[in-house]
Amino acid sequence: MLYLYASNLSFLLSLNQADYKKEFLRLILLCLAGVYLLAFLQIILHEAGHLIFGWMTGYRFLSFRIFNITVIIENRRIKLCKYKYAGTLGQCLMSPTDIKTGPYPFVLYNLGGIILNSLSAVCSILILSFPLQISISFRFVLYLNLFYGIGFSIINGIINKKARIINDGTNLYELLKDKDAVRSYYIQLSILQKLMKGMSYKEFKDEIFGMPESMELTNVIIGWHKILEVDYYMDLRQWERAYECLELFRPVMHKISRALQDTILLERLFLKLMTDGTSPDILSLYEETKHILNHSTTDMQVIRVKLAFEIYRNRFCLDNNYMEPIYNKLRAFQDYPYKGEVRFCQGLIRDVLKKYEVV
């Protein structure tokens, strides 16, 4: 590292004043553009890493998202959709080819993004290590790429079970320590593929209930598997069974991720709206969840709960003028990549409208 600093200093000293000004101006422009462009590049590299290593280990492509632009394959054609999961910059989802038999490869698929981010940082170090005559501007790009490569690797690799968004490192840690989590992980990826094809949760009985009863809910992957069970019962309108599943989380709420906590609170609110429209718990649950409801504008499941509460809150003054924006919000999700989830949520909202006698 000392050699790198010394080489940069000697290069600066070797420039005359005109060259120095030119290089300085170029550096300023690169600072403005490079900070964003290189970060964007690292996001693409990270998701491409999941894609490459997933493909190498037998996974099939489902979707590739950068920010809110999602690429899917539909009827053998590339299709662009808009979808954003709060707290994430990108996502590459792939499906296992076979979940009936093991072993289940998952290490390289989960580490693929970190591997490519790290390799980009190593490339910067190697170029900077050679005594080459390169401009200050290019050196800046290399240092910035080094910073981002290391930063993305750390952010995505550090284990933090209580973070709102579970990163690759935590995911891998949970998979390595529990064999039930590995099979659950494969099942969840296969369900995503079916949701994209238009199937809904009530059609996943064999997948959802093919796991042991005594699974550890503090494992984030197994926790999300239990949420699939909640969705299954809600799809069948078995509200009490859905609520019983949520109650299993109560003793371990302080040990699970914030995203899972948020989902549990939202579903408790929705189930109260569907089973007991006069309960004082509804307003207290709303106070606990309103920061989630007001923050997320693209997650269909969150919007479902938000619309349900709006219908409940304005149940005595609902008319066509008020209902039209709600219908528009539901129609706006026709390009949502998970068509089965759209069916699921729209069906539940229709039930809310019937419950509160809205025609």
Residue entry with tokens 């190498």: 56
Written as six digits, the tokens of 217 are 């809910």
Q: Domains of the chain: which residue ranges?
A: 2-157, 170-355
105 cis-preceded (ω within 30 degrees of 0): no
Q: Which residues of the chain have pLDDT under 50?
A: 1-5, 8-9, 12
| Residue 249: burial class (beta carbons within 10 Å; 0-12, 13-18, 19+) | buried
Beta strands in the chain (DSSP E): 59-66, 69-74, 77-82, 90-96
* Nearest-angstrom CA–CA distance, 108 and 114: 10
Instruction: Count CB atoms within 10 A of the CB of residue 145.
Output: 23
Note the pLDDT of residue 24. 67
DSSP string, 68-128: TEEEEEETTEEEEEE---TT-SEEEEEEES-SSSS----HHHHHHHHHHHHHHHHHHHHHH
Residue 161 C-alpha from the chain's centroid: 15
- For strand 69-74 and strand 59-66, is the pairing parallel, antiparallel, or unpaired? antiparallel
Q: Measuring CA to CA, which residue among 245, 316, 304 is closest to residue 274?
A: 304
pTM above 0.85, yes or no: yes
Give the full edge-to-edge strand order of the sheet including 90-96. 77-82, 69-74, 59-66, 90-96
* Nearest-angstrom CA–CA distance, 174 and 158: 13
Note the pLDDT of residue 21. 65
* Nearest-angstrom CA–CA distance, 260 and 267: 11
Written as six digits, the tokens of 22 are 């030119």
* Nearest-angstrom CA–CA distance, 165 and 160: 9
Residues forming beta bridges with residue 66, ordered by sequence position: 69, 90
- Say which DSSP state 14 is in: T
CA angle 285, 200, 338 (to 5 degrees): 85
Q: Measuring CA to CA, which residue among 288, 339, 332 is closest to residue 309?
A: 288
CA dihedral 188, 221, 256, 249 (to 10 degrees): 60
| Residue 36: burial class (beta carbons within 10 Å; 0-12, 13-18, 19+) | exposed
Q: Which residues contact 331 (CB under 8 A, 6 or more apart)?
A: none
On average, the pLDDT of the chain sits at 88
